[in-house]
Amino acid sequence: MTDPATATPEELLPREAAPPEGVSALLRRSDFRRTYAAIAVSELGDAFQYIALMWFALVAGGPLGVIAVRLADSVPALLFGLHGGVVADRWDRRRVMISADLVRGAVLVPVAVAGLTGHLPLWVLVVAAFVLTAATSYFDPAYGGLLPALVDRRNVQQANGLVRATADALSVGGWAVAGLLLVVL
């Protein structure tokens, strides 16, 4: 018999955790499904964008052009990575993600048009690569903080695994399709 004065109340006792739900149960949640679909489309676009930028950099500046664009693509993560995390914690994560994707789209559309018309100097590619990665430095932490809010705690690992596997597959598949398009075009 336990002493009622020192016993832990029943509602505070640890309960056995329910097992995680399957992928189909996660996808039945409309908020997770919409976010998952948006991330998948964004990943595919990122893969195409990366190959296109490298191709245009090679055409505009040769191997040194590719190096310049890759450097411009790398620096913003160092400059804005921590600030992106702070913004993701203080502001509405969905709005941060949407804003970052709108910035990326606003940069990519004119770059694509200029590239397809043959009027794309290397310096524009360098600036575009910098801005694209800067926007990604805000998008990624916001998404990292949003996913656990979309699913129950017991399903976070499964949701992360599904999203990461899909993103990796679309990234590799997107690079392959973009490469094939370069050969065909």
Dihedral angle of Cα 89, 93, 99, 100, to the nearest 10 degrees: 70
Q: In this predicted structure, what is the pLDDT of residue 11?
A: 66
Residue 163's domain is classified under what CATH number?
Answer: 1.20.1250
Non-local (6+) Cβ contacts of 132 within 8 A are 49, 53, 73, 104, 107, 108
Domain membership flag for residue 20 = no
- Cα separations (Å) of 176 from 50, 116, 130, 137, 138? 12, 20, 24, 25, 27
Domain membership flag for residue 89 = yes
pTM for the structure as a whole: 0.80
Question: If pLDDT is split at 50, 70 and 90, which confidence band does 178 have?
Answer: confident
Domain membership flag for residue 109 = yes
Q: What DSSP string runs through 29-45? A: SHHHHHHHHHHHHHHHH
pLDDT of 2 above 80:
no
Q: In this predicted structure, what is the pLDDT of residue 16?
A: 61
Domain membership flag for residue 66 = yes
Question: If pLDDT is split at 50, 70 and 90, which confidence band does 18 have?
Answer: low
Q: Which residue has the tokens 């801005």?
A: 131
Domain membership flag for residue 25 = no
Domain membership flag for residue 63 = yes
Residue 29 structure tokens: 């949640």
Residue 185 structure tokens: 């075009």
Looking at the chain, the whole-number percentage of residues with pLDDT higher than 70 is 89
Domain membership flag for residue 123 = yes
Domain membership flag for residue 4 = no
Owning domain of residue 150: 31-184
The domain total for the chain is 1
**pLDDT tens profile 55-107:** 999 999 999 999 999 999 999 999 998 999 999 999 999 999 999 999 999 99
Average pLDDT, the chain: 89
Q: In this predicted structure, what is the pLDDT of residue 26?
A: 86
